[in-house]
Amino acid sequence: ATPTALAVSSGRGSQLGILVSGPEALESTRSIDTVVLDKTGTLTTGVMSLTGTELSPADFDVLARLESRSEHPIARAIVDAAPEIVGMGSAGAASTGTVSTGSVSTEPSSMGSAEESASSASARSVEAPGPSVTDFENIAGGGLRATIDGAEVLAGRPDLLRERGITVDYPTDSIPRGATIVALAIDGQFRGLSFVSDEAKPTAKAAIDELHSLGLSTVLLTGDNAQAAEVVAEALGITEVRADVRPEGKVSVVSELQGQGRAVAMVGDGVNDAAALAGADLGIAMGSGTDAAMAASDVTMVNSDPQQIPQAIRLSRRTLGLIK
Ligand code: ADP
Ligand code: MG
């Protein structure tokens, strides 16, 4: 259903920025006892930054050229960091340098003028990869592949590389706590890891607390790795976590919960959330998210603020109380 502004509780809903697809959408909120929440872009800002890389500047440049074809928040983080990392290489800095201290600043003012011109040149090459990137393929829930300068380039979850017969070995203690891992292979050879992460939205904790105080149980559902999911779940007080879930697996988790007799609200923002949003008893999309997520949902939170989730549930409970 296409979300249209519909007055909820005498216009209070649209005032709050809660768009409802139709009156029947609210009917289902009565019985909701479980709220399933996507992580990236729903509970976290979805604005990722690079927190470290093991790649040489040359390999990072290849990764950035591949990622420049993707819309994923991971891709933005890699592409944004490229001028500084690749600039390091062309400015003669250590070619195997590992960046591991905090976020990489991409502020031109933080760099010398020589580096600045080198990095703006590489920024251009990242933004306009040219004809050397061919056969681009977006592998849903896993990563990306393409032919770049004649080489076969694959980047994404370590398991994606392993599924394609590439040996990916690294000590688990080399991973920054809670980071999302991007593994790179060129011509079937593992080249190293890069790490990206984002932060919980400022109101996410209060939103989860409020859902719990309304008597609802919460589940974190993500395609990201278990450790990254645990860090967010722990910070927000969510005890049930489903991580490493492929896009087609998200809807299965929702129907599994429904099979246990639970009435499920699903909150998400991505294309990969659309089937789960449609399958849930109540689908709630973030306004900042994809059109696919909004089209599959009963309710859209215009401000993408997690606190609108308990607000919408309270509002519809109250409205239905008046109607019935
Ligand atoms: P989510 O939005 O829940 O993280 P996705 O299905 O979008 O789930 O992605 C699942 C995983 O696939 C990501 O956590 C990441 O490991 C990998 N992935 C997806 N897109 C990319 C990309 N452009 N570059 C690298 N890895 C990616
Ligand atoms: Mg998401």
Average pLDDT, the chain: 84
3-state helix, strand, coil split of the chain in percent (to 5) is 45, 25, 35
216 and 132, same domain (yes or no) = no
3 belongs to a structural domain: no
Ligand nearest to the CA of 272: 1
**Ligand nearest to the backbone CA of 40:** 2
Q: What pLDDT is recorded for position 320?
A: 63
Q: What is the pTM of this model?
A: 0.79
- Nearest-atom number in ligand 1 for the CA of 270 is 2
Q: Do 213 and 159 share a structural domain?
A: no
CB of residue 141 inside a 6 A radius of ligand 1 = yes
Final residue belonging to a domain, choices 181, 197, 213: 197
Number of domain units in the chain: 2
Q: How many helices (H) and strands (E) in the chain?
A: 12, 13
Residues 210, 222 within the same domain: yes
Least Cα distance to 224 among 92, 10, 70, 72 occurs for: 72
pLDDT (tens digit per residue) in 89-131: 655 444 344 444 444 433 333 333 343 344 444 444 454 545 5
CA of 232 to the centre of ligand 2 (A): 13
227 and 193 in a single domain? The answer is no
Residue 234 and residue 102 in one domain:
no
Residues 56, 188, single domain; the answer is: yes
The ipTM assigned to this model is 0.96
Residue 223 Cβ inside 6 Å of ligand 1? The answer reads yes
Ligand nearest to the CA of 44: 2
Nearest CA-CA partner of 308 in 38, 46, 13: 13
* 178 inside domain: yes
CA distances from 249 to 35, 140, 244, 256 (A): 17, 12, 9, 10
Residue range 135-160: average pLDDT?
95
Domain that holds residue 87: 49-197
| Domain final residue pick, 175, 197, 219 | 197
Residue 85, pLDDT score: 93
Q: How much distance in Å is there from the Cα of 140 to the middle of ligand 1?
A: 8
Q: Determine whether 244 is an active site residue.
A: no
State whether residue 179 is helix, strand or coil. coil
d(CA 34, CA 156): 31
Where residue 234 sits, what CATH number does that domain have? Answer: 3.40.50.1000
Catalytic residue among 38, 224, 269, 305: 38
Last residue of a domain, one of 197, 212, 247: 197
Same domain, 70 and 159: yes
Query: Taking 50 as the threshold, does the pLDDT of residue 195 lie above it?
Result: yes
Amino acid 11: pLDDT: 58
**In 10 A of CB 322, how many CB atoms?**
8
User: Is 5 inside any structural domain?
Assistant: no
Closest CA to 142 of 243, 63, 64, 247: 247
Query: Does residue 59 sit in the same domain as residue 95?
Result: yes
63 shares its domain with 172: yes
Give the CATH number, domain containing residue 54.
Answer: 3.40.1110.10
Residue 247 lies in a domain: yes
Q: Nearest residue CA, atom 2 of ligand 1?
A: 40
Q: Within this chain, do residues 156 and 170 fall inside the same structural domain, yes or no?
A: yes
- Work out which ligand 1 atom sits closest to the CA atom of 67: 23
CA–centroid distance, 265 to ligand 2, in Å, is 15
Determine the pLDDT at residue 131: 55
- So what's the pLDDT on residue 20? 84
pLDDT at res. 132: 85
Q: Is residue 58 domain-resident?
A: yes
Sequence-separated (6 or more) residues with CB below 8 Å from residue 295: 1, 2, 274
Is 138 inside a domain boundary?
A: yes
Q: What is the pLDDT of residues 37-96, one digit of tens each?
A: 999 999 999 999 999 999 999 999 999 999 999 988 899 999 999 999 998 765 544 434
In whole angstroms, what is the distance from residue 203 CA to residue 298 CA?
22
Same domain for 163 and 56:
yes
The 3-state DSSP class for residue 304 equals: coil
Query: Is position 115 within any domain?
Result: yes
- Shortest-distance Cα residue to atom 19 of ligand 1: 143
Measure the CA–CA gap between 179 and 207, rounded to whole angstroms.
23
Is residue 316 assigned to a domain? yes
Instruction: Looking at the structure, tell me whether residues 158 and 221 fall in a common domain.
Output: no
